[in-house]
Structure 1
Amino acid sequence: MISLGKLAILLVLQDETEEALLRQRSNVLGYRIYKGKVGSMDSAKIFAAVETAAKREGFISSNYREEHALYHSILEAYQGICRGHSGLGNVMRSAGLLFCIARGPRTPGNQDDGDWIAVTMYGYMGAPMKGFEHEVLGLGMNPI
């Protein structure tokens, strides 16, 4: 069995071949998933990229509850990659990230719990010079 958070983490880490298998498995389990890329020294651009993808792909409706759940999932993932510190450009750090959005029950078949949304971010962060970066990973998850 694969949980929503684990699925979001695995998807953001997979190469294309492994990703295709994971996508097939996630569909059978009732999860919706999306994977994208973003790179910036501006945290607002990172938030906007994930939020825009979630809206464009139909992961959330335009209502407060769903937008709020998405925002906090993005914020938690972002805090994970920033090690609890907020802000990139203001401290001269840049990020090149893959992100994943996943929606569904926390565990397959557990419809009593309602839908949750998970956001993961994985990639590199560091000084805006090649060779001065390190890997980062963050996960945020909230009920819809």
Structure 2
Amino acid sequence: MRELLRMTTFSKDRQIGRLAIMLLLSEHDQAEQQKMISDLGWLGCTGKVGSMDTNKVVAAIETAAKKNGVIKSDVYRESHALYHAIMEALSGVTRGQVQIGSVLRTVGLSFSILRGNPYESEAEGDWLAVCLYGTIGAPVKGSEHETIGLGINHI
């Protein structure tokens, strides 16, 4: 029983949500960030998107994940897991109502995507974390405020 509990515990150095936030908010250059990710044996990327259309935000994040090899585009469960992580992160950004353009709001966001196993046991498999940080507000310059969202989903 103790062995089972040990295998399913989080490794403190592998907290995927915390690392996704740190990756996004870090002032380190891209090469340093990629080294940190690869040292864990994980995959990840960062990017930016701005839009009044939720579907464009989702598409930009999915495209970055596929282009950077974070998920395989021909494996449905990976795209599905990413979609749910994105929607959870967007829910944080939009305070639970995943709407922007339809309620006259726009976002300017930076994002990070991480893929890895946050557990000590390899058998637990990979998880995805999506972190979004930026601004949300009326589509008028100066009418926005900061926002952040985090989504985590298993593959």
Q: Which amino acid aligns with 2:103?
A: V
Q: Larger C-alpha radius of gyration, 1 or 2?
A: 2
- Find the partner of 1:5 among 13, 17, 34: 17
For 1:36 and 1:110, locate their aligned partners in 2 and report how far apart those are by CA, in whole Å.
30
Which residue in 2 is equivalent to 1:49? 60
Q: Which amino acid aligns with 1:71?
A: Y
CA contact (8 A) 1:4 1:31 kept: no
What's the TM-score, normalizing by structure 2? 0.85
- Matching of residue 65 in structure 1 with residue 87 in structure 2: no
For 1:2 and 1:64, locate their aligned partners in 2 and report how far apart those are by CA, in whole Å.
25
Q: How far did residue 57 of structure 1 move?
A: 1.3
For 1:135 and 1:53, locate their aligned partners in 2 and report how far apart those are by CA, in whole Å.
23
Which residue in 2 is equivalent to 1:124? 135
Alignment of 1:62-141 (within 5 A): 62-107=74-119, 109-141=120-152
CA contact (8 A) 1:38 1:46 kept: yes
- Give RMSD over aligned pairs: 1.5
Which residue in 1 is equivalent to 2:7? none
Structure 1 gaps of 5+ residues are none
Task: Describe the superposition over 1:79-117 as per-residue Cα deviations: whole angstroms up to 9, x where unpaired.
Answer: 11000012111111110000111001024x542210111
- Find the partner of 1:39 among 50, 68, 78: 50
Matched residue pairs, number? 142
For 1:132 and 1:16, locate their aligned partners in 2 and report how far apart those are by CA, in whole Å.
29
CA contact (8 A) 2:43 2:69 kept: no
Structure 2 gaps of 5+ residues are 1-12
For 1:124 and 1:80, locate their aligned partners in 2 and report how far apart those are by CA, in whole Å.
12
